[in-house]
Amino acid sequence: MRNIRHNRQRRLPHFLLSSLLCSILCSLSAHAKPSDKVIEAKVNALLNKMTLAEKIGQMNQVNYALTEDQALAAIKSGQAGAILNPTGVGEDTDLKKINALQRLALEHSPSKIPLLFARDVIHGFKTIFPIPLGLAATFNPLLVEQGARIAAQEARAAGVHITFAPMLDIARDARWGRIAESFGEDPYLVSQMGIAMIHGFQTNDLSAVDSLGATAKHFFGYGATEGGRDYNSTNIPPGQLRNVYLPPFKAAVENGVVSVMTSFNENDGIPATANRYALQEILRKQWGFRGFVVSDWNATGELIVHGYVQNRKQAAERAINAGIDMEMFTGSFLENLPTLISEGKVSLQTVNDRVRNILRIKYKMGLFDHPFFDEQTAREAFLKPDSLTSARQTAEQSVVMLKNDRQTLPLKSINTLAIIGPLADKPHEQIGTWSWDGDETAVITPLAAFRQEKTLTVLYQPGLEYSRDKSTDAFAKTIEAVKQADAAVVFLGEEAILSGEAHSLANLNLVGAQSELLAAVKKTGKPVVLVVMAGRPLTIERDLPNADAVLYSFHPGTMGGPALRDLILGKANPSGKLPVTFVRQVGQIPLYYNHNNTGRPAPAEEQLDTLDTIPVGATQTSLGNTSYYLDAGRDPLFPFGYGLSYSNFAYGELQLSSNQIHLQDTLTAKVKVTNSSNIDGTEVVQLYLRDPVSSRVRPVKELKAFKRVPLKAGETQTVSFTLTSKDLAFYNGDDHFTAEPGEFQIWVGGDSQHGPQANFRLVP
């Protein structure tokens, strides 16, 4: 399959084009991009001059926010190669502090090696974009790349060199709080979004002054933790590892990612931070990774708690020999490597190799040539009008319309609108998890956005103070406001702190008295629009009857308010699609579209027994039984790839260029897509594939391509995709990536459950 980057809308927005051109010209005028040979020569020359203590120092990432005095001492003595979390990045005092720390390293450390400054820039720096799950819902890699470019420009202007993003964990369990940081459940979608973010952060020239080094995390399997409990164990078999969990990381390496971070979990008894096979055999030898591997926060120290090592000395030994180049926070390398080397448990060659990986990136990023940044002009890069425009466009495309009975939306011919709910005017909650440096004063909430509409009278009653609020004391005046309005828009969901790292949940219903508030508003008889702002898919089946229309907005960031207002009033048309499956009940988890088939798959929902249809005293039997839940059925609430529009899209017959191809051939799939409505809109056309018979049971469907297709009212376009045998291949039981001859099924449609189908054969 041709990289999806070439299948996107080709015309870049003017401001993005200008920004990219400026970046390229500035880069060219400032320096020439050094060759790999020149960089390797410089790295080796520097290594030959360094003492062992300095080399170990380069492998030490110091957390400045918690250990300021220790950090200063470490920098001066050459015992710090990178600084994590210089506090309040972007604030005036800390802008000066970062340059001062760099100056301390260059003037006082033994070999005058510049520091790497690292920060979690996950979905924006000052201008905050939707959380990654929302970015994935756009199915628009161009916008994701654009947002990462803006984040890079803002972060580099404030002295940050490395970010710990993108997170490439496959997330199939909404109980896991860090699903908010993921791009969802599908390896292909996650890969494409990860590639886009890496290109946006790094550009094609790491030495450019506005290039931000990206980190692919968490390597590997972190999204598969048992029960959705953060930091927990995983048990991923080799075939699933190769075919599901590793492809996004392989794509990141192929696209030049600077760094890879190991995960907290252990898989099959081996913690990721000490997994030599994963780090050496797969990452380095098979994939040829040339960047550096960094442990997650104190992950080396946690090898002790896992029960994998006895003490910090053994933890350092296992981690460095497995392939860790840089240790985040723990400090066990500093403490123990000299002794381990003298005892012959760690070789000097291993240390040199690890340090070489770090120095290589510092040279590639041009830090030896331009280690400082202009702190006087840094703020000029923050929250530019063009950046806010991009954030607004991304937020708009990230919203998924799940329901629209009787064309409730868009709201037309209304004079008075009731804005209800605890999340209608909460800037902090709107920007979502992992927004360290986001400027809450720049956030435009939905309430503020609607109040900008001069022809609209807005009546605001939150009803609840915050999402977990259980008090119904304010319900009466809230209902009075709704009765005076032509319609009500109710903003519910979860606070930012309820998702993200270490915030797993066993219950995914709307918390507090939110469901009760929605039901009370519905009883007024007025049209009700529910907007859910959350960091994860919530179980909202019980709430759907109490809303005429539903928009799902994964925490949308700085410009989420104007984006939602425009969608609700019809100034914009919803086009987002679900990057994860929405379950009816938590008990269905894990439920994902690209599952393997069972020997007894369930028939259509209407053919299933339920708790109500089973006779009392029925005889136990297994004959005719299939795989589903008696109380929740077979299907999810909403499938992967699902999303409604104000437009209606009709798919014609799926046509293939041939019903048979050879391994070296390509296959073209074409389908006519028609906007059969009178409203211009954009459809995300998705291509799915199945290998129904193979040497290893394969998923019932797999996403292989997608395109955002804008269609004017009444317009028809022929949408085409090109497949190669690589798109049919998988890792078999021998870990060989191969396409097996036989029959394949192909679908093209608007989600993972619908669309015309065709078959073809792959022959030797």
Active-site positions read 296
Q: Do 579 and 133 touch, CB atoms closer than 8 A?
A: yes
Other Cβ atoms closer than 10 A to 238? 11
Q: Do 681 and 645 touch, CB atoms closer than 8 A?
A: yes
> Cα–Cα distance between 626 and 635 in angstroms, integer?
13
For residue 334, give the amino acid letter. L
> Cα–Cα distance between 122 and 142 in angstroms, integer?
17
Report which DSSP code applies to 699: B
> Cα–Cα distance between 760 and 744 in angstroms, integer?
5
Contacts of residue 58, defined as CB under 8 A and 6 or more positions apart, other chains included, come to 50, 81, 113, 326, 355, 358, 359
Q: CA-CA distances (angstroms) from residue 632 to 125, 510, 586? A: 41, 19, 10
Q: Are strands 266-267 and 270-271 parallel, antiparallel or unpaired?
A: antiparallel
Closest CA to 59 of 342, 280, 361: 361
Report which DSSP code applies to 603: -
User: Which residues share a beta bridge with 644?
Assistant: 401
For residue 23, give the amino acid letter. S
293: exposed, middle or buried (Cβ count in 10 Å: 0-12, 13-18, 19+): buried
The encoded tokens of residue 397 equal 């495309």
Query: Using CA of residue 496, residue 383, residue 563, residue 181, what is the dihedral sign?
Result: negative
Other Cβ atoms closer than 10 A to 116? 27
Report DSSP letters for 420-463, one per residue. Answer: ESTTTT-HHHHH-SS-TT--GGG---HHHHHHT-TT-EEEEE-S
Query: Using CA of residue 605, residue 611, residue 616, residue 618, what is the dihedral sign?
Result: positive
> Cα–Cα distance between 38 and 23 in angstroms, integer?
23
> Cα–Cα distance between 174 and 590 in angstroms, integer?
8
Phi and psi torsions of 723, nearest 5°:
-110, 150
> Cα–Cα distance between 539 and 541 in angstroms, integer?
6
> Dmax of the chain from CA atoms?
84
Q: Do 298 and 329 touch, CB atoms closer than 8 A?
A: yes
Closest CA to 581 of 400, 396, 394: 400
Cis before 166? omega within 30: yes
Report DSSP letters for 163-229, one per residue. Answer: E---B------TTSGGGGGS--S-HHHHHHHHHHHHHHHHTT-TTSTT--B-EEEEETTGGG-GGG-
